[in-house]
Each structure stands twice: as C-alpha cells, then as structure tokens.
Amino acid sequence: MDPLTWTGALAFLNPIYQITLVLLVAALAIWIITSVISAGTRQVANADGSFTLAGNPQAMANLGVKLTFLVVAILSLAYLLLGLILGTNAGIVGAMSRQMLPTWTALVVLFALSITFKRRLGLYGKLFDSPIGMIGFGLVMFWVFTGIFGAMDLIATHDPLGQASGMKNKVPGTPLRGAEEGEYAWYLLGGDNLARDVFSRMVKGAWEVLKYAPLATLFAFMVGITLGLPAGYYGGRLDTLLSFLANLILAFPVILLFYLLVTPEIVATGLPQFMAVVLFAFPMVFCGVLIHSRFRTQPGKDYMWLAIVLVPIFLLYMSLINENGSKIDFWPLDFFDIPGGVLVVFVSVVFVNSPTVFRIVRGLAMDIKTRDYVAAAQTRGERAWYIMLWEILPNVRGPLIVDFCLRIGYTTILLGTLGFFGLGLPPESPDWGSTINDGRKLLSIYLHPALPPAVALMSLVLGLNLLADGLREESLKD
Amino acid sequence: MGLFILRRSGVMIITALCLTFIVFFLTNLYPNLEKLAKTEGNFRMSDEAVASWLEKNGYAQPVVVKYGQWLGVMPGWTRTADGEVTGRCIDGTATPDEAATAPRYCGIIQGDWGYSTRFKTGVGDIIETRLGNTGYLMMWVLILMVPSALIIGVLAGMREGSATDRSLSTLSIMTTATPEYVSGVIFIAVFASSTVGLKWFKGTATAAMENPTFENFFLPVLTIALYGMGYIARMTRASMTEVMTAQYIRTARLKGVSFPNIVLKHALRNALIAPFTVIMLQFPWLLNGVVIVESLFNYKGFGWALVEAASNNDIELLLAVSVVSVVVVLLTQLISDIGYVFLNPRIRIS
C-alpha cells in the first residue's frame, strides 16, 4: 500500500485552488479597506435632475469577493464530491469525504426538506432565510450527524482506542503495516503518540461532546429557570438571597472549582453525588410545577399528567443519582450506572452554567412582569406560578433559545477545558479536549494529532455561535 | 456614593469569606487530608499513622476552628510533647520559653499566608513572584486586547450592515468561538512548529519569565487576548450601533457635521460606557485563560501555581490562590459598578 497524498488523483486542481484562495483573500482585503475609506454608494446628479447610483471601487471589490468565493466554494465541493466517487484515489480528502457519506446524505436530506417546507416551520423555518444562520446550522448539524453516525460505527475507520504497531506519530495518509482483509488500510489523519487513529478519535470525540454538552446545558437551564423566575417575579429577600448565591458561584474561578470538585478524593466523599441530588431534582420540580399550575382546577387531568410525566423522570432521576458502592446506594431499581468521573464532570458543568442562566431569566422576568398581560392574569386571580410558567416563560423563549445555542457552545468549551487539564473524563477518552491535551506535548514536532480535534471543536462552537446569531436576527424581525 | 461603595465593599468581604470557607472546607475534607499526610509522611502509612500525623500537625481540629486560625481571628494551635512545643505560629519545634514569645495569632490578617507543601517555601513569596509574572502577562494582554477590541467594535458599529461591519463581526464571532487551548495549539502549529511552521515565534514562554522578548512572549499574549477580544468587540459594536441611531446623532448629521467628527466627538464617548463594564467583568474569564495559556506555554505564573497547588493538594497555596483570584474578581466588579456611575451621569445611586 502506498501512502496517501492529500488530494491524490485530484492534484491537478490544487494550483487552481491555491490561486483562487489567494485571489479571495486579496479581494476580501480590498473590499474591507475600500468600505472603510469610501462612504458607500455615491449618488450622481444627472443633467435632467435625476439621480443614479455610481459604480464605485467598493461595488467592484464586492463583485470580486462574490466571484472568487463562488469559485472557491465550487472547487471545495468538487474535492468532496469527486472524493465521494473516487474514494481513496482522491487522496486523504477524498477518502474522508467517502467515509463521511452518511453525514452528507443526512445533511442534504435535512436541508432539502427544511428549505422546501420552511414557511410552515415557524422560527426554525425562518432560520433558512438568513445565510449566517444557515451556515451555522449546517456546521452544527454536520457534527451532530457525524457524532450520531460515528457512535453507530458508520464513519470511523478504526477503533478509537486500538493501537496499531508501527503507527506511532505517523503522518496523515500512512498505510497500516500488514492490514488485514476488511480492515481500513490507512490512518487517514495519521497516528497519535499511542499509535491510535486520529481520524477515528476525532469522529468518536464528536459523540462524547454531543452526549454531554446539550444535556448539561438543558439541566443548567432547568435550574436557572426554576430559580430565576421566582427571583425576578417576587423580588425582595428571595431575590437578594438567590442573587447573592449566584454571584458567589460566578466569582469563583471556574478552573479552581473544577480542580476542587473533580479530584478522586472529593469524589470519594460523595460530594458530587449530593450536588447531583440537588441539581438533578430541578427538572422534576420544574415539570411538576409546570403541570400542576396549569391543571390545578382539573384534578383528574392534573393527576394523570403528573403521573405520566413525573414517574419516568423520577425513575431516571433515582437511577442517575443511585450508584452501587457509593454513598447513595439504596434504590433497588437502578437501570444504569454513570461512571463517577462522568457524573462529576456533568455536575460541575451544570453548576458553573446555572448562575448565568439564572441571571438572564431573572432579568427577563423582571422586565416582563410589568406587562399588561401579566397584570391581566393577576386580575383574573391566577396563581403566581401559573403566571411565571405560562405567561412569562413563553414570552421570553426567544432570548432563551438564542442563549441556549450560545451556552451549548460554551459548555463544549468548558468540557474541552476539563479534558485539556485531564480532569474527570477517563484518560483514554476520545473527547476533543483530552485529545488536544495529548497532542500538545509533542506539538512542535508532530502537528497532526492535536490539530484535527482543535479544528473540530472550533468549527462546532463557531457553528453554534453563528446559529445563535441567525436565530437572534430572525426572531427580532417580527 | 460613599455609602454605595461601603455597602458594595461589605458584600465583597462577605463573598470573599464565603468563598474561602468553601475552598477551605473542600481542601480539608478527610480524603484530601489523608492524601496530604501520605505525600508528606510516607505512602504506606496505616490509617492510625495518618490519624496521628494529622493530630500532630493540627489538621484534626474542627474545620471552623482551623478556618479561624488560618484567617487569624483565633489563636494558632500549639501542642506540647516531650518538653517541645510545635504550633501553627512556630517554625519547626521550639522550647516552651521560645514558644511563649511566638505570636499567638498568625493568619492572613497578620500577613502570614502559611507554608506551601509543594514548593517548600512560604506561600507569600510564591504568590508574589508568580503574580508578578502573571501581572506582566496580563498587562500586555490588556494593552493588546482593549484597544484593538474597541477599534474593531467601533469600526463595525459605525455603519451597521456595511462590508466592514460584516467582516469584522464575523471575525469577532470566530475569536469568541476559539477557546485558548484551540487557538494556542493552532498558533504553535502555524508560527512555532519546528517541522512545517513559519518559525516566527517560540512555542514556549519559559524564557520570557526572565527575558521577555517579542519572539517568546507574543504568542501567549495573543492567545489570551484573542478570546476576550471578540466578546468585547461585539459588545462595543452593539452599543455603537445603538448610539448611531440616537436622535442627537441624526441632529448632528442634519447640521452637516462630517462623519469622522460625528463618530469621534458625538458617538464615541457614549458608546464606550457599556464596553467598560464588559471589560471589567471579563477578568474572571481572563483568569481562566491565564491558567490554560500558562500551562500550554509553560510560563510559570499564577495560573501555573494554581494547577500545581490543586494537583498536589497544597492546601495553603490553594487557599491563597483562591483568595487572590476572588479578590481580583470582586474588585473588578466593584470598579465596574463605580466606573459605570462616573461614566454615565444619568445613573443616580440612592
């Protein structure tokens, strides 16, 4: 087996690609500079008293940017599409594109469906009106699909923990020594310092992020909403107390908190589990109050919904906090065990994130509670919790959804930080932070183990940021 | 105003006390003390030996008492055995006569920060030198970050929707999406790698502690500054766009004031109020970045001391580190509150 080059049979495209990239950068620079200097489009008075917009350097630069960007996009697409057909003949890029086939399919289907029905899909559909939002959504969904299909073993070429002899720190495209029948014959992005496949680890790492980040953010939102609404609505002493606690946590340097919570000694005391008991109770409280405040006057419906929702949540909650051989070990119906390290990571990320959510929700509630519809509900004699959860909360969903997207990105960064310091997650875990941490030790000699997870993390967080920006823009329009 | 500052300072002190007590409590949990005893004594200590070691070194007292001693509001413990006195305020062992002359209180109020079990010196010295290193780093970070963030924000916000706005906004979103450990790795790969990189800069900043040069110091500074820059720039942009739609700007335009004059004389000062608070509130995150960057570039500063203290359960050093960082965070919050009032005369504190 020969080592793979980056583009293989498509190498003839490379010079063109390089030239257009240089042109794109140049056009961008000119575009920015002209827009700073010139005052935008200029109006020229004609002899007959009419006005025309004069063509100016900025418009020309704009055209240049659009053209070169189009060419770059077409060429990039060509690499990927031809890679799909040619596979490893089209080099590393082509081979990766072929491996990612499930992701591409899912993305194309999702976008085609969404754009077709975008008028009927509410805010989500409107997202497809904003280019920024579309790019962000595309990036996020790319990693979501990669994570899901990666977890189903459709993408990764090798076992993320498996070590192959002679592949230590090998450059991208190195063929496996003595690859067996049915085994993928190359390490597409090279091997790391323990001779594991960087590409497979990156793909598996996406799943690690997807497993924790959205769920941790959701829990943080539950905590923040459940505490922030009453703090903002009632005000007074409750508000002072809760705000003081939130500021207390916010003033704590995050890394110090992680170091204090995540050490094995602290885990042995069961402290993170007790924190989990408190923090994970909030979704239950939230759902219970949400249902009860709505159906308070119809006991039959009330009990039915409470039973339908709370029983499964309670079972999940108990098996989440109950763990054999730890401090909390009494519940017989334990469906699954969370490894100690993972639970700690989860708890500390929720703990760090919830005060910020609390502050946002509190601010929004304080703003909304002066509105007329809240006064109307008060006059109707609605209970306080009904007003908070069914009058105020639906009306602050816009900013909350936007912040949710941003916060998933932030949680991803936090998880990466934990991995970077080797805290909590198991050391061989393929998550991006740990992989970057592994790779950085030999960074000045071997770049390839650290760069793919770094770029992956950056693109996911960038996608989430752009998505949040697009959502904000679209939700402000109406 | 005086009352406001006084009240904020009071809240600040209470917060600092609460936080240090939490750190104290967490570091003094029994498994942590056991680990400390084993690293200080020997690793094969039996449970009884650990208990007696803790008893002998004053760790077996109740947490509140120990906290009071550390703070310096309760007299330090002493222990007499075989005619020799050991104690919190006594170095090593002493005769009873010497012990009588030793100070009774020795906590941080008296300026005694304790002894670092990791570095085998006084905590005060470590904090001083390490904080000096980090302070130097932070100074350059702020010098780089604040002006460039403000310039980017103002340029982007003065004409909303223009080419400059769109490109600079994208740039600032990109920098906020790139945490320090990602941008640091990418910078090292591009600028410092010995195999394929440009080799413009050094990949470590170890030499920068004695002899900071552009070559060995720029990358860590840039790495921290970039992450914070995007956020400040976006805030500046938001406040600038808001100001640019205000009535008085329209009036100035209608009067025929030139565009640069409008931006510089009418808009800028009002647009900079919000970013000021943001910059101040950015400090806790900068602290985060400092820890990451110092371990990535091997620059032995405050963040590095935090990592060393935390991974070796060096209780006194860890406490000192948390005191310093909590005080820094709370002070910046206080400054941001007070500065906000000064910058914006419309706000009255009553």
Which tokens go with A383?
């209970």
Burial of B119 (0-12, 13-18, 19+ CB in 10 A): middle
Name the helix (H) or strand (E) containing A87: none
* Residue that is last in its domain, among A70, A101, A132: A101
pLDDT, one tens digit per residue, over A75-124 is 888 888 888 888 778 888 888 888 888 899 999 999 999 999 988 888 88
B292 touches chain A (CB under 8 A): yes
Parent domain of A8: 1-35+57-101
pLDDT of residue A463: 93
Judged by CB atoms closer than 8 Å, whether chains meet at A462 and B177 is answered as: yes
Q: What is the DSSP string of A210-274?
A: HHHHHHHHHHHHHHHHHHHHHHHHH-HHHHHHHHHHHHHHHTS-HHHHHHHHHSHHHHHHTHHHH
Query: Coil, helix or strand for B115?
Result: strand
- Examine residue A287 and state whether it is found in any structural domain, yes or no: yes
Same domain? A441 vs A301? yes
**Residue A354 to residue A465: CA distance in whole angstroms:** 19
Closest by CA to A140, choosing from A461, A475, A471, is: A461
R_g of chain A, CA atoms, integer Å: 27
**So where are chain B's domains?**
1-112, 124-343
CB atoms within 10 A of CB B166: 16
From the candidates A247, A347, A443, A451, which should be mutated to test the interface with B, based on the most B CB atoms within 10 A?
A: A443
What distance in Å separates residue B180's CA from the closest CA in chain A?
9
Judged by CB atoms closer than 8 Å, whether chains meet at A461 and B288 is answered as: no
- Examine residue A46 and state whether it is found in any structural domain, yes or no: no
ipTM above 0.90, yes or no: no
**pTM, whole model, 2 decimals?**
0.88
B182 touches chain A (CB under 8 A): yes
Judged by CB atoms closer than 8 Å, whether chains meet at B181 and A436 is answered as: yes
Judged by CB atoms closer than 8 Å, whether chains meet at A251 and B189 is answered as: no
CB A272, CB A298: distance < 8 Å: no
pLDDT, one tens digit per residue, over B94-148 is 777 777 777 777 777 887 788 887 888 888 888 888 888 898 998 999 999 999 9
- Examine residue A183 and state whether it is found in any structural domain, yes or no: no
Name the helix (H) or strand (E) containing A382: none
- Examine residue A209 and state whether it is found in any structural domain, yes or no: yes
pLDDT of residue A110: 93
What distance in Å separates residue A312's CA from the closest CA in chain B?
34
Range with the poorest average pLDDT among B30-44, B172-186, B211-225: B30-44
- Examine residue A116 and state whether it is found in any structural domain, yes or no: no
Number of domains into which chain A is organized: 2
**Chain B residues inside the 8 Å CB shell of A268:** 31
Range with the poorest average pLDDT among A181-185, A191-195, A262-266: A181-185
Judging by DSSP bridges, how do beta strands A51-54 and A42-45 pair with one another? antiparallel
Judged by CB atoms closer than 8 Å, whether chains meet at A256 and B177 is answered as: no
* Residue that is last in its domain, among A45, A68, A101: A101
- Examine residue A146 and state whether it is found in any structural domain, yes or no: no
Alpha-helical (H) ranges within A117-197 are 122-126, 131-151
Range with the poorest average pLDDT among A199-208, A284-293, B49-58: B49-58
Judged by CB atoms closer than 8 Å, whether chains meet at A465 and B173 is answered as: yes
B328 touches chain A (CB under 8 A): no
- Examine residue A189 and state whether it is found in any structural domain, yes or no: no
Q: Which of A32, A248, A269 sits opposite B19 (nearest CB)?
A: A248
Which tokens go with B71?
């703070």
- Examine residue A113 and state whether it is found in any structural domain, yes or no: no
Q: pLDDT-derived band of residue B345, with 50, 70 and 90 as boundaries? A: low
pLDDT, one tens digit per residue, over B265-311 is 888 888 888 788 778 777 777 888 888 999 888 888 888 888 888 88
From the candidates B26, B180, B182, B296, which should be mutated to test the interface with A, based on the most A CB atoms within 10 A?
A: B182
How far is residue B166 CA from its own chain's centroid? 33
Judged by CB atoms closer than 8 Å, whether chains meet at A443 and B325 is answered as: no
Q: State phi, psi for B159 to the nearest 5 degrees.
A: -130, 95
Same domain? A247 vs A363? yes
Q: Is the dihedral of CA A457, A459, A462, A464 positive or negative?
A: negative
Q: Which of B26, B177, B295 sits opposite A409 (nearest CB)?
A: B177
B159 touches chain A (CB under 8 A): yes
What residue of A is the nearest CA neighbor of B178? A458
What residue of B is the nearest CA neighbor of A250? B284
Q: Which CATH class is domain B124-343?
A: mainly alpha
* Residue that is last in its domain, among A44, A68, A101: A101
